[in-house]
């Protein structure tokens, strides 16, 4: 006689179940119970209390959740049982004993799991500390120049867009280490009501590695580069880019395309080797802070538009260097390095957002290093000025060598 | 709570010894963005109770979505099979089952993407396979590209973690439970492919394979050679080179042909067919893809650039397949090879090959993958003459124009634009080499590029001149052709052939062995009772010979040492091999020599042997050939006569005697010379023939006429002559005797070989002793025949009668019957 089960899927997916021999009483316990009885030349297993049998299937293997069989004597159908026979339980008392043993074992497992979790959390906390420390120290080094790893050649004819559009494309590049994306704009006539959005996505898992939202007035023709604050995590997945455009009614944008999709460039840097201020970074959406705290970040090249990058200083004269608008949102420390050539006794004073360093002398190597705590008044952007003066009769040429900013992890800015 | 009726995908998770990792697998299945996903955990008798506890916990956490089965340990395959059977039984809406190992994971969109790929593949799409991204020991392996069974045979790139269509599972196909050491997935896919299903690649799937220093995979890798051999053993029909050839034609065509002067590019295996035609631009894109990712994208291994007239000329001479076969062989020696066709008159084919310039080549062959990857290097090879050049002298060769070389340069001058290569690691071999690697794995190289007809028979000879054996084989080929077989001439030991009238019509193709190995050389270290055996059998180049012949259905190998050397291997590939035996010869010391003795060394390799005489049949039995392997195919006249047979009446004139044949020592030239000189006053003589083996023609005292080949010339000679004189030292069953008898020309021949089987002394011819009295006896016989015209006339009439009805179709019947018997 074959052992058939009515509603086999329910039997096999029950976390707990109990079998009842034909003459065994049902137990008043919140455990699904199945009674086995002879019917039409088969052994039929039905849920206790089931009104009429539905379609039944042979039992292919023992179910995972079975506690045992309530039976006074070994039922004949147990010979049909696939694999090791379940435990025989004489009555509810025997079941209680079994459940108690299970409970004790489960509690022991919970204890084990708790102890394991504690150890794992401690290990993870140490890893977090180590990672943060490494990030800060990595951020001290000059940024690594990025490498172009993917570059489309824009088609001759751009596509003129209006309204709202979205594209998504997978790139033949790994997402790990991606440090910047560039999209090519052929013509721009857009104001504050329009927005270009970009998202960098790990294609396989769907995880987001970057998100930017560029207002219409910041869009410019040519390759528009959007940096990640730091290179994308070492995810071994395909880089996918989503480009969305939402244009105000009379705005237009001509996006360069290749084979019908937005033309893109992808740049990569070594993990932890390039920290970059990214003005249009959507920190909340991307799920990663911008900028990473305690790390010196560079600024995109477009800060130099309209800036005075080099100054000629005459003997006993004064002049200045300046950046018209530096995006400083979130930063509370600024560091500038100037290079002085052809002269001596040059002093410099950095000022921004109502704060200043006072006069600082050149170092022995000729550079002048200036550090300034940034006032929140300088957020989101403020002009930066460096006053220069020559104390001696010799003149000098002074130029920017570096300007970087950091978010203090210790809240030093408050002082 | 999910109902069983809502389940569309079952993730079958065998669980054994991985309780700590099992929840990751379960949760990754439960987190799929595709609705209707259930997990079927098959506890394969895991000794750790945690496995059951964790599985139960998953049941509680995902009501109705996690099903747990426990069975005695049966191994990974058995557990998967249990899960598959269960899913098919209880989920009526099941569309596919996914094999998820307990220590692996899938990303949330995996099953949605895989199901889309599976179902968009159409009927016959059996499974959808991912890239393999390892966890732990990080590595990302690319498996992209069109599915190819050949590539799968070369190396398994379809992970067990593939989504399998219900349609496939319902055929009853399951994982082999006896393969417990690994490779059970490869074996499963191979059987699925044999059942007519194919896989399909899922891009960006998100399959995470846990790779550890020690694992089942690491164990399998250590046993890789053994397991691969096991795969081959279980799928012997797939690893048959004939099957590989069929798949190559379908999946990875060997050749691309660019015609000088432009036009589309033909892709094919068989140069007489076109499997696919694509534009030049599409071919450029094909090269570009192969340049960027050779493992995922095919480019034909051989790119041919040819002048149309050259292809036509080769096809007319039946040399097209051999030329393309040579391309594969020659391209092993250089990146660029070519064939220069030269005129050789109506009846000769000769080839020579060596390094040299291809300026005047009408066919140029390039390695396809090199054309994709480094065209500049091929261009430099062409410019510097660093190429392999074959000169093929043949009838009807077109003039050289230089157009092929110009076309080749133009094709190479513009490198293909390559799309970006995949970022994942490419670990598979280039597709253009896959078929060759598979052939090599079964001991074959350079497959002859012709699709099988099912009735192809190779007629294999060491050389092809105008001898009797060539005529016999030609007539046999004609009969085979008439019976629905397709004969192919294969010359193994000479780089030339002299064509007989009818050769082009009887043989579908003409083929030569390549001339890189010792095709005709004996191996002095391995004589069989003093008879030579083939050095070619141990030579690495013999795999080329196998490549040329394995696609045949049968082979008749006559006197070819190289052919004998290949027979046993050919039989393993299903080629039915028969040996052609014509005579047991005698050497200079009257010692037994010749092909029949060499044949004894190879008897075991053959299904049977064709013997031309009863005498030779008995000789073979005496030498140990099983009688039932011997097929008596007596000779018949070597050509179709147009003349009428007339019994001779010589009253009133001198009788006319004719010697016809090779002017070699075997034919008893000293006897011929003495007999002519002593009988010229009462016999009118003609000699037609030339030396084949022994150099300059002998001095016979009369003018020697050129050999006769055409039926008309032969008819004229036999009709002119009253007597055919054949004083040979040894013979088999000479065709000249049969041809002469047919037209009433009386044979006067030495009693050698099986001559007595076709001449009855004094009734339909005259037999001479094969000893020092031969010349005297010959002169005596000639005098008597000259003196007794009535005797000559009676012998002539009897000869005509003897040959009446003796044709090749009748003689070949026993062999045809044998061929038709499987």
B99 secondary structure, DSSP code: E
Q: How far is B69 from chain A (nearest CA, A)?
A: 5
- Cα–Cα distance between B122 and B612 in angstroms, integer? 58
Beta-strand runs (E) in B102-242? 105-106, 125-130, 132-136, 139-141, 163-165, 198-202, 207-211
Q: Is the pLDDT of residue B313 over 60?
A: yes
Question: Are A60 and B63 in contact (CB < 8 Å)?
Answer: no
Q: Does A412 touch chain B (CB under 8 A)?
A: no
Question: Are B70 and A15 in contact (CB < 8 Å)?
Answer: no
Cα B652 versus chain centre, distance? 61
Which residue did the predictor score with more confidence, B538 or B166?
B166
Nearest in space to B40 (alpha carbons), one of B1, B98, B115: B98
Please give the pLDDT value at position B585: 67
Q: Does A205 touch chain B (CB under 8 A)?
A: yes
- Cα–Cα distance between B594 and B729 in angstroms, integer? 14
Most confident of B349-363, B411-425, B770-784: B770-784
Nearest in space to B4 (alpha carbons), one of B66, B58, B50: B66
Query: What's the whole-number mean pLDDT along residues B489-505?
Result: 92
Q: Could you tell me which CATH number the domain at B656-803 has? A: 3.40.50.2000
Interval B448-473: pLDDT, tens: 999 877 899 999 999 998 888 898 99
Please give the pLDDT value at position A288: 67
Please give the pLDDT value at position B626: 96
Nearest in space to B361 (alpha carbons), one of B284, B304, B415: B304
Q: Is the pLDDT of residue A168 over 60?
A: yes
Give the contacts of A29 (CB within 8 A, at least 6 positions apart). Answer: A18, A92, A95
Query: What's the whole-number mean pLDDT along residues B100-118?
Result: 96
Task: Write down the residue that tokens 């944008």 correspond to.
Answer: A253
Mean pLDDT in chain A?
88
Q: Is the pLDDT of residue B590 over 70?
A: no
Please give the pLDDT value at position B638: 87
Q: Domain A147-286: give its CATH architecture.
A: Sandwich (2.60)
Q: Is B684 helix (H, G, I), strand (E, B) or coil?
A: strand
End-to-end CA distance of chain A: 86
- Cα–Cα distance between B601 and B745 in angstroms, integer? 40
Please give the pLDDT value at position B558: 96
Both structure tokens of A290: 């911008």
- Residue B235 phi, psi dihedral angles, 5° rounding: -125, 45
DSSP tally for chain A: helices H, then strands E: 3, 29
Nearest in space to B319 (alpha carbons), one of B360, B290, B364, B351: B351
Q: Which residues of B touch A240 (CB under 8 A)?
A: 204
Would you list the DSSP string of A59-122? --SEETTEEEEE-SS--GGGGG-SSSPPPEE-SHHHHHHHHHHHHHHHHHHHHHHHHHHHHHHH
Q: How far is B541 from chain A (nearest CA, A)?
A: 43
Q: How far is A7 from chain B (nearest CA, A)?
A: 9
Q: Which residues of A touch B89 (CB under 8 A)?
A: 8, 57, 60
Which is it for the CA torsion B411, B417, B419, B420, positive or negative? positive
CB A408 within 8 A of CB A294: yes
Please give the pLDDT value at position B586: 65
Q: How far is A66 from chain B (nearest CA, A)?
A: 10
Question: Are B107 and A60 in contact (CB < 8 Å)?
Answer: no
Min mean pLDDT across A296-310, B287-301, B741-755 is at A296-310
Q: Which residues of A touch B66 (CB under 8 A)?
A: 13
Parallel, antiparallel or unpaired: strands A208-215 and A195-202: antiparallel
Nearest in space to A178 (alpha carbons), one of A158, A207, A154, A155: A207
Closest in A64, A173, A203 to B43, CB measured: A64
Which residue did the predictor score with more confidence, B18 or B516?
B18
Pick the CATH number of B456-632 from 3.40.50.2000, 1.10.1200.10, 3.30.390.10, 3.90.480.20: 3.40.50.2000
Distances (CA, A) of B578 to B457, B458, B612: 10, 10, 13
| Confidence check on the interface: ipTM exceeds 0.90, yes or no | no
Distances (CA, A) of B395 to B38, B306, B339, B494: 72, 18, 15, 18
Give the contacts of A117 (CB within 8 A, at least 6 positions apart). Answer: none
Q: Which residues of B touch A57 (CB under 8 A)?
A: 89-90
Please give the pLDDT value at position A74: 92
Nearest in space to B256 (alpha carbons), one of B419, B414, B95, B432: B432
- Cα–Cα distance between A90 and A71 in angstroms, integer? 5
Nearest in space to B135 (alpha carbons), one of B211, B224, B39, B63: B211
- Cα–Cα distance between B685 and B702 in angstroms, integer? 8
Both structure tokens of A204: 């396989």
Q: Is the pLDDT of residue A411 over 60?
A: no
Question: Are B68 and A63 in contact (CB < 8 Å)?
Answer: yes
Q: Is the pLDDT of residue B494 over 60?
A: yes
Binning pLDDT at 50, 70 and 90, where does residue A412 land?
very low
CB A405 within 8 A of CB A277: yes
Beta-strand runs (E) in B368-485? 388-394, 456-461
Question: Are B206 and A204 in contact (CB < 8 Å)?
Answer: yes
- Please give the share of chain A, as a percent, with pLDDT higher than 70: 97
A301 secondary structure, DSSP code: G
Please give the pLDDT value at position B591: 65
Binning pLDDT at 50, 70 and 90, where does residue A279 land?
confident
Question: Regarding the domain with residue range A301-414, which homologous superfamily does it belong to in the CATH classification?
Answer: Galactose-binding domain-like (2.60.120.260)
Distances (CA, A) of B60 to A15, A36, B730: 5, 24, 95
Q: Is the pLDDT of residue A171 over 60?
A: yes
Cα B686 versus chain centre, distance? 46
Distances (CA, A) of A388 to A270, A338, A371, A395, A396: 37, 10, 15, 11, 10
CB A200 within 8 A of CB A228: yes
Cα B468 versus chain centre, distance? 28
Q: Could you tell me which CATH number the domain at B4-234 has? A: 3.90.550.10
Q: Does B50 touch chain A (CB under 8 A)?
A: yes
What predicted TM-score, i.e. pTM, was given to this entire model?
A: 0.83
Interval A95-122: pLDDT, tens: 999 999 999 999 998 998 999 999 999 9
Q: Which residues of B touch A204 (CB under 8 A)?
A: 107, 109, 133, 204-206
Interval B324-352: pLDDT, tens: 999 999 998 899 999 999 998 778 999 98
Which is it for the CA torsion B365, B368, B369, B370, positive or negative? positive
Distances (CA, A) of B467 to B46, B497, B578, B736: 77, 12, 21, 11
Q: Is the pLDDT of residue A355 over 70?
A: yes
Q: What is the CA radius of gyration of chain B?
A: 35
Nearest in space to B483 (alpha carbons), one of B810, B735, B711, B822: B810
Q: What number of residues does chain B have?
A: 822
Closest in B86, B91, B420 to A172, CB measured: B420
Please give the pLDDT value at position B651: 80
Closest in A57, A236, A237 to B89, CB measured: A57
Q: Which residues of A touch B420 (CB under 8 A)?
A: 150, 171-173
Q: Is B622 helix (H, G, I), strand (E, B) or coil?
A: helix
Interval A179-223: pLDDT, tens: 999 999 988 999 988 999 899 999 999 889 999 999 999 999 999
B517 secondary structure, DSSP code: S
Please give the pLDDT value at position A415: 29
Task: Write down the residue that tokens 């052992």 correspond to.
Answer: A3
Closest in B59, B206, B421 to A172, CB measured: B421
Interval B159-217: pLDDT, tens: 999 999 999 999 999 999 988 778 899 999 999 999 999 999 999 999 999 988 877 77
Domains B456-632 and B656-803 equal at CATH topology level: yes
Please give the pLDDT value at position A410: 45
Interval B243-301: pLDDT, tens: 999 999 999 999 999 999 999 999 999 999 988 999 999 999 999 999 999 999 999 99
- Cα–Cα distance between B111 and B109 in angstroms, integer? 6
- Cα–Cα distance between A406 and A328 in angstroms, integer? 9
């Amino acid at each position: 006689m074959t052992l058939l089960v009515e509603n086999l899927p329910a039997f096999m997916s029950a976390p707990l179940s109990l079998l009842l021999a034909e003459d065994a009483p049902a137990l008043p316990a919140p455990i699904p119970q199945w009674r086995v009885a002879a019917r039409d030349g088969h052994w039929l297993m039905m849920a206790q209390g089931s009104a009429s049998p539905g379609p039944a299937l042979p039992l292919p293997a023992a179910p995972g959740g079975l506690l045992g069989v309530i039976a006074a004597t070994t039922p004949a159908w147990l010979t049909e049982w696939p694999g090791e026979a379940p435990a025989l339980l004489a009555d509810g008392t025997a079941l209680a004993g079994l459940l108690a043993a299970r409970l004790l074992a489960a509690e022991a497992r919970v204890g084990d799991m708790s102890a394991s979790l504690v150890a794992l959390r401690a290990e993870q906390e140490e890893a977090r500390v180590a990672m943060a420390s490494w990030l800060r120290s990595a951020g001290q080094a000059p940024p690594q120049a990025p490498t172009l790893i993917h570059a489309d050649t824009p088609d001759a004819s751009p596509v003129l867009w209006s309204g709202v559009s979205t594209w998504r494309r997978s790139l033949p590049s790994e997402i790990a280490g991606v440090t910047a994306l560039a999209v090519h704009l052929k013509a721009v006539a857009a104001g504050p009501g329009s927005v270009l959005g970009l998202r960098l996505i790990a294609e396989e898992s769907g995880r987001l590695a970057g998100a930017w939202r560029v207002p219409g007035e910041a869009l410019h023709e040519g390759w528009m580069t959007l940096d990640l604050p730091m290179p994308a995590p070492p995810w071994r997945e395909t880089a996918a880019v989503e480009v969305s455009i939402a244009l105000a009614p009379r705005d237009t944008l001509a996006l360069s395309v290749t084979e019908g999709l937005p033309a893109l460039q992808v740049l990569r840097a070594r993990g932890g080797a390039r920290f970059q201020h990214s003005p249009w970074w959507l920190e909340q959406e991307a799920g990663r802070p911008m900028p990473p705290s305690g790390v010196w970040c560079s600024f995109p090249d477009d800060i130099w538009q309209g800036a005075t990058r080099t100054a000629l200083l005459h003997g006993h004269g004064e002049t200045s260097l300046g950046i018209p608008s530096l995006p400083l949102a979130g930063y509370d420390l600024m560091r500038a390095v100037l290079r002085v050539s052809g002269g001596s006794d040059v002093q410099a004073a950095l000022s921004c957002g109502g704060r200043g360093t006072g006069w600082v002398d050149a170092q022995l190597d000729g550079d002048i290093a200036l550090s300034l705590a940034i006032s929140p008044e300088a957020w989101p952007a403020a002009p930066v000025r460096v006053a220069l003066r020559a104390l001696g009769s010799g003149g000098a040429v002074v130029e920017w060598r570096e300007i970087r900013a950091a978010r203090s992890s210790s809240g030093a800015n408050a002082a | 709570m999910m109902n069983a009726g809502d389940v569309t995908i079952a993730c079958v998770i065998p669980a054994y010894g991985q309780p700590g990792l099992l929840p990751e697998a379960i949760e990754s299945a439960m987190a799929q963005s595709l609705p209707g996903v259930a997990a079927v955990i098959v506890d394969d008798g895991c000794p750790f109770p945690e496995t059951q506890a964790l599985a139960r916990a998953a049941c509680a956490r995902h009501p109705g979505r996690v099903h747990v089965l426990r069975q005695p340990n049966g191994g990974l395959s058995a557990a998967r099979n249990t899960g598959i059977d269960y899913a098919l039984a209880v989920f009526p809406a099941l569309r596919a089952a996914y094999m998820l190992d307990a220590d692996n994971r899938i990303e949330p969109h995996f099953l949605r993407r895989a199901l889309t790929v599976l179902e968009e593949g159409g009927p016959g799409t059996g499974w959808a396979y991912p890239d393999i991204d390892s966890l732990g020991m990080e590595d990302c392996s690319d498996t992209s590209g069109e599915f190819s069974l050949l590539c799968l045979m070369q190396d398994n790139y379809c992970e067990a973690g593939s989504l399998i269509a219900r349609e496939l599972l319902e055929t009853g196909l399951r994982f082999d439970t006896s393969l417990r050491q690994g490779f059970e997935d490869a074996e499963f896919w191979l059987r699925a492919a044999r059942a007519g299903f194919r896989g399909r690649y899922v891009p960006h799937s998100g399959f995470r394979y846990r790779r550890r220093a020690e694992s089942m995979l690491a164990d399998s890798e250590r046993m890789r050679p053994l397991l691969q051999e096991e795969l081959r053993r279980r799928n012997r029909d797939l690893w048959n080179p004939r099957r590989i050839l069929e798949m190559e034609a379908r999946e990875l065509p060997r050749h691309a042909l660019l015609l000088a002067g432009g036009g589309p590019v033909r892709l094919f295996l068989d140069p007489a067919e076109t499997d696919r035609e694509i534009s030049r631009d599409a071919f450029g894109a094909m090269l570009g893809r192969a340049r960027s990712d050779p493992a995922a994208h095919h480019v034909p291994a051989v790119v041919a650039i040819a002048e149309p007239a050259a292809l036509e000329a080769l096809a007319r001479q039946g040399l097209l397949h051999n030329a393309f076969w040579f391309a594969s062989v020659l391209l092993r020696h250089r990146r660029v090879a070519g064939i220069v066709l030269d005129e050789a008159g109506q009846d000769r084919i000769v080839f020579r090959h060596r390094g040299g310039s291809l300026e005047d080549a009408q066919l140029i062959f390039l390695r396809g993958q090199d054309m994709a990857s480094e065209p500049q290097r091929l261009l430099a090879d062409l410019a510097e003459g660093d190429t392999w050049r074959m000169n093929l002298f043949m009838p009807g060769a077109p003039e050289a124009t230089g157009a092929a070389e110009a076309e080749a340069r133009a094709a190479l001058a513009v490198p293909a634009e390559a799309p970006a290569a995949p970022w994942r690691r490419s670990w598979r071999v280039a597709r253009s080499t896959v078929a060759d690697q598979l052939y090599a794995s079964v001991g074959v190289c350079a497959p002859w590029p012709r699709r099988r007809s099912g009735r192809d028979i190779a007629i294999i000879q060491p050389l092809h001149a105008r001898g009797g054996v060539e005529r016999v084989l030609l007539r046999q080929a004609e009969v085979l052709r008439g019976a629905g077989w397709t004969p192919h001439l294969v010359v193994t030991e000479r780089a030339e052939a002299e064509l007989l009238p009818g050769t082009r019509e009887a043989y579908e193709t003409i083929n030569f062995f390549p001339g890189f190995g010792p095709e005709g050389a004996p191996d002095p270290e391995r004589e069989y009772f003093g008879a030579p055996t083939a050095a070619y059998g141990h030579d690495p180049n013999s795999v080329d010979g196998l490549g040329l012949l394995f696609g045949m259905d049968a082979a008749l190998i006559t006197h070819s040492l190289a052919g004998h050397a290949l027979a046993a291997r050919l039989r393993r590939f299903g080629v039915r091999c028969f040996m052609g035996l014509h005579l047991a010869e005698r050497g200079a010391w009257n010692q037994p020599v010749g092909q029949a003795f060499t044949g004894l060394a190879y008897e075991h390799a053959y299904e049977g042997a064709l013997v031309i005489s009863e005498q030779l049949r008995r000789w073979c039995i005496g030498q140990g050939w099983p009688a039932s392997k011997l097929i008596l195919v007596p000779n018949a006249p070597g050509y179709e006569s147009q003349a009428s047979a007339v019994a001779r009446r010589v009253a009133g004139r001198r009788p006319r005697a004719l010697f016809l044949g090779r002017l070699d020592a075997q034919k008893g030239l000293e006897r011929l010379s003495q007999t002519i000189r002593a009988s010229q006053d009462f016999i009118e003589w003609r000699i037609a023939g030339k030396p084949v083996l022994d150099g300059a023609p002998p001095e016979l005292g009369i003018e020697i006429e050129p050999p006769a080949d055409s039926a008309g010339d032969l008819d004229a000679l036999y009709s002119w002559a009253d007597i055919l004189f054949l004083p040979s030292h040894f013979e088999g069953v000479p065709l000249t005797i049969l041809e002469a008898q047919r037209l009433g020309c009386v044979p006067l021949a030495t009693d050698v070989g099986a001559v007595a089987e076709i001449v009855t002394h004094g009734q339909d011819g005259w037999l001479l002793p094969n000893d020092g009295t031969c010349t005297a006896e010959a002169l005596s016989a000639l005098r008597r025949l000259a003196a007794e015209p009535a005797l000559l006339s009676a012998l002539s009439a009897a000869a005509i009668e003897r040959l009446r009805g003796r044709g090749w179709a009748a003689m070949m019947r026993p062999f045809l019957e044998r061929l038709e018997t499987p």
